[in-house]
Amino acid sequence: MNLVQSFVWSLKMAWRDSRTYRRKLLFFTLAIVLGTAALVAINSLKENLTQSVLRESKSLLGADLLIESSEPFQPEAEQILDSLKQAEEKYAEEVSFSSMVLSPISGKTRLAQVRALEGDFPFYGEMETEPAMAKSKLSEGRFALVDEGLLVYFNTKIGDSLKVGKLSFLIAGKLKEIPGEAALQTFVGPRVYIPKSQLANTGLIQRGSRTKHKVFLKLNNPEETQAIVSSLEPQFDLSLTRFITPEDRQQSLGKAIENLYRFLNLTGFIALLLGSIGIASAVNVYVKQKLDTIATIRCLGTKSWQTLVIYLTQAMAMGVIGTLAGALLGIGVQFLLPALLSDLLPINVDIYLSPLSILQAVAISLGITLNFALLPLISVRRISPLRALRTNFEENAHMENDPLRWLIYGLIALGICTFSVFQINSPGLDWWYGLIFPGAVGVALGLLALITLGFILGLKRYFPNSASYVWRQGLSNLFRPNNQTVVLILTIGLGTFFITTLYFTQDSILKQVNVADKNGQPNLILYDIQPDQKQGVENLLAENGLGVMQSVPIVTMRFAKVKDMDVRALRKDSTNNNAYFWEYRTTYRDTLTATEKILRGKLHQGMKGNEAMVEVSLATLLADQLNLKLGDTLTFDVQGLLLAAKVTSIRQLNFSRIQPNFSILFPTGVLEEAPQFYAMVTRTKDSKESALIQKSLIEAFPNVSSIDLELILQTLDGVLSKITLVIRFMAGFSIITGFIVLAGAILTSRYQRIRESVLLRSLGAVRSQVMQIMVIEYFFLGIISAVIGVGLSLLSSWALTEFIFNSPFVINVLPVFVSILLVVSLTIGIGLLISRGAHNRSPLEILRLEAT
């Protein structure tokens, strides 16, 4: 028999040998279906998104060029802009800022993002409104376009009025979609468009007001955009002005899409890894069941490579079927994802099939699955034909020393690391950042495996011998050979870990803000109070029985130099951190508030005027972003005046309380004479009182903005819910995979369970006892997975909230118990569903059925 004939025979034998196992094998393929589906969907979506961004690049900006300044343009700049407006095809202007708006009908107030617009913006793409032509009303007088969410919040409708500053506007329509903007923005700051011609009359623009001034241009020759920008840049103060082209917007959106894609892809990859572990485990048991057959065909003259081909072919078939089914499902999911992500994406995504993306995902999935399946499969090469003579023959003694096994371990590790490094690959990031993901998954898996093995060892050592029979039998089933207890706990535990981490983190952040409402802490913050309004606001609060808990002076400024680097020069490189260019609201004091803590250095103690440099304290977040250390020098541009300073302390801030926090803190004796305004914090009895005082404030001081705890909670909840919905959807792939692996593992040992059950029943056990034994086994599988998964997720949620969100971790006990209960119930439910019939059919009937 030549090589080709041997190979063909092995394929034929693989087909024949899979008989009676095909249904089971097909079931195991389900384990990789979801992981593959996730990868296919995400890969395709990325391609669709990238193409959509390319296609809609101009409508992302709505213009060929946007000139944006954080301060009103200087007269010289205005002159240049005027000549541009005349020379080019079209222009529009917008001034935007945050301000309170009031609904006279409902009496409710809300901090909104007011945009005073003049001109026919956008030039590309459509501002979708209801009614469709509502936008044209903006040029006709005191009309406003309002975000749909704000109308719902105010309980008002089109045709009602809305007060912005001192003016009332008629709501002409609701905003449905603005090109280049994600709907999620409405949660943070609902948008209100008013005519720019009415802006001055609102009385909202005061000294120190944080405004953005934009000029949108439609150029005669859009292909010359870059040349125009190059000619304009030297004529503008680049520390204040930015020139944004569709390509810039496309680039920054591309980055955001890349990040989203990486994150989603990693979650999909986790599901695939879990499924692959499940496949490896199923193949391991399958091979064990096939030992006699393998030994027999070895006796009859099959070579070792032929036996490997036979079982590898079966595993490959599983992999191919699973991957193809996954690809089909993934294509379906691809059509679902844009709906889930719609609020996060600033563009409409056209969904179409991307063969290359699908092929890429399928290749990754197939590669990973096959490597995992190979691990147990390579042992078939070493199965001795002697086993056909002696069924108790042990040949596994040298399996661990098989160099091929270590090669496959290496390939799997290399595959995962390469995938991850490829995913994280980004300019400015070292390649080894990509190893954090496999490292973290490895640590989580290692911990789960260690705890599980520890539990099994402990159970064996301290076995409750005095417990009733059903308990003893149920517990000892956990370490029954081929039971795959560790794999089951790994998959279900890891799925639980991912899902609950997301939930606990979100819950903790929200709960922390809720806690802030207690203990007499402030729950309403007012800002943009001009010096001449300070007394009036204090009086108004006092008239309403409210005290001022804190009154903070605020001075706005920018960086002119950071560690001797000119910020204007830094502006030319778009990869530089935006924190260099922000406008900062700073304050001055020589003490710490209750929410601040010095991490490094020493807090300044008032300036006497004879010091060489002003000492400043930075928040950790800012220091980390700009890589600033103690002793670094900074030059601030305080509204035209340059001020040199030195970093002398780094503070940690706690953002969980309602009070103004400052990234930059100055000592007393420096900024007192600088133009400033104030922020105040107070505490209202309840949300009704809060609403009333906000209404009085907006009527008396329209430019004063306020934000209360309820609004923060609503905003946080809205934003987090939208983001976590996507994450949970993806994490769902992992947990469902976990349960498929559980079902597969139970299915694998079904015959063993049935035989045990039959034996027990032959020995006199009643059906209820057999049932109880199964429930006990599944209960322990569920409870161990759930407790370890939830335990690890509490740890990771703590780390996330403490170190990423800088907020103390608050445990909500109820969800912890509900999560555990849910996982245990699902495990028992699925276990009993798959084992159904094992405990209540005639022993003889079952033995005959299973034997066939």
Residues of this chain that interact with other proteins (CB under 8 A) are: 1-2, 5-6, 9, 12-13, 16-21, 292-293, 295-305, 384-386, 388-391, 851-852
Q: How far is the CB of 295 from other proteins (least distance, A)?
A: 8
Q: How far is the CB of 340 from other proteins (least distance, A)?
A: 44
If one counts every other C-beta atom within 10 angstroms of the C-beta of residue 684, the result is 21
Q: How far is the CB of 304 from other proteins (least distance, A)?
A: 6
Q: Is the CB of 385 or the CB of 536 nearer to other proteins?
A: 385
Q: How far is the CB of 423 from other proteins (least distance, A)?
A: 42
Q: Is the CB of 289 or the CB of 514 nearer to other proteins?
A: 289
As a whole number of angstroms, the distance between CA 400 and CA 404 comes to 10
Cβ neighbours for 353, distance < 8 A, ≥ 6 positions apart: 44, 331
Using left for φ > 0, alpha for ψ between -120 and 50, and beta otherwise, residue 631 falls in: left
Tokens of 589: 């004091």
Contact between 677 and 530 (Cβ < 8 Å): yes
Q: How far is the CB of 324 from other proteins (least distance, A)?
A: 24
As a whole number of angstroms, the distance between CA 183 and CA 198 comes to 26
| Residue that has been written with the tokens 């004879």 in this structure | 610
Q: Is the CB of 258 or the CB of 395 nearer to other proteins?
A: 395
Q: How far is the CB of 757 from other proteins (least distance, A)?
A: 20
As a whole number of angstroms, the distance between CA 215 and CA 749 comes to 70
Tokens of 544: 């309403």
Q: How far is the CB of 504 from other proteins (least distance, A)?
A: 48
Q: Is the CB of 293 or the CB of 595 nearer to other proteins?
A: 293
Q: Is the CB of 111 or the CB of 287 nearer to other proteins?
A: 287
Using left for φ > 0, alpha for ψ between -120 and 50, and beta otherwise, residue 124 falls in: beta
Contact between 150 and 102 (Cβ < 8 Å): no
Q: How far is the CB of 19 from other proteins (least distance, A)?
A: 4
DSSP label of 749: T
Q: Is the CB of 394 or the CB of 400 nearer to other proteins?
A: 394
Contact between 190 and 113 (Cβ < 8 Å): yes
Sign of CA dihedral 408, 409, 410, 416: positive
Q: What are the distances in angstroms from CA 126 to CA 61, 66, 179, 316, 506?
A: 11, 17, 6, 50, 35
Contact between 636 and 582 (Cβ < 8 Å): no
The two beta strands, 596-601 and 705-708, are unpaired
Residue of 249, 116, 115 lying closest to 190 (CA atoms): 115
Cis peptide before 131 (omega within 30 of 0): yes
Ramachandran angles phi, psi of 583, nearest 5°: -95, 130
Q: How far is the CB of 740 from other proteins (least distance, A)?
A: 25
Q: Is the CB of 55 or the CB of 390 nearer to other proteins?
A: 390
Q: Is the CB of 390 or the CB of 836 nearer to other proteins?
A: 390
As a whole number of angstroms, the distance between CA 303 and CA 289 comes to 20
Q: Is the CB of 304 or the CB of 418 nearer to other proteins?
A: 304
Instruction: Find how far residue 540's CA is from the centre of its chain.
Output: 43
Give the number of C-alpha atoms closer than 13 A to the C-alpha of residue 640, restricted to the C-beta side. Answer: 5
Angle of CA points 617, 620, 626, to nearest 5°? 90
As a whole number of angstroms, the distance between CA 351 and CA 553 comes to 51
Q: Is the CB of 227 or the CB of 399 nearer to other proteins?
A: 399
Per DSSP, the residues of 587-640 read: EE-SS--TTEEEEEE-------S--SSEEEEEEHHHHHHTT--TT-EEEEEETT
As a whole number of angstroms, the distance between CA 678 and CA 548 comes to 12
Q: How far is the CB of 511 from other proteins (least distance, A)?
A: 57
Contact between 107 and 155 (Cβ < 8 Å): no
Q: Is the CB of 300 or the CB of 804 nearer to other proteins?
A: 300
Q: How far is the CB of 302 from other proteins (least distance, A)?
A: 6
Q: What are the distances in angstroms from CA 349 to CA 42, 54, 175, 755, 773?
A: 13, 11, 19, 55, 52
Contact between 296 and 17 (Cβ < 8 Å): no
Q: How far is the CB of 499 from other proteins (least distance, A)?
A: 40
Q: How far is the CB of 318 from other proteins (least distance, A)?
A: 16
Q: Is the CB of 397 or the CB of 814 nearer to other proteins?
A: 397
DSSP helix, strand, coil percent of the chain (3-state; round to 5): 60, 15, 25
Cis peptide before 385 (omega within 30 of 0): no
Helix (H) or strand (E) segment spanning residue 641:
strand 641-653
As a whole number of angstroms, the distance between CA 722 and CA 342 comes to 10
Q: Is the CB of 386 or the CB of 407 nearer to other proteins?
A: 386
Q: Is the CB of 25 or the CB of 709 nearer to other proteins?
A: 25
Contact between 558 and 584 (Cβ < 8 Å): yes
Q: Is the CB of 302 or the CB of 556 nearer to other proteins?
A: 302
As a whole number of angstroms, the distance between CA 175 and CA 150 comes to 10
Q: Is the CB of 4 or the CB of 804 nearer to other proteins?
A: 4
Q: How far is the CB of 765 from other proteins (least distance, A)?
A: 26
Q: How far is the CB of 390 from other proteins (least distance, A)?
A: 7
Q: How far is the CB of 253 from other proteins (least distance, A)?
A: 56
Q: How far is the CB of 406 from other proteins (least distance, A)?
A: 21
Q: Is the CB of 381 or the CB of 646 nearer to other proteins?
A: 381
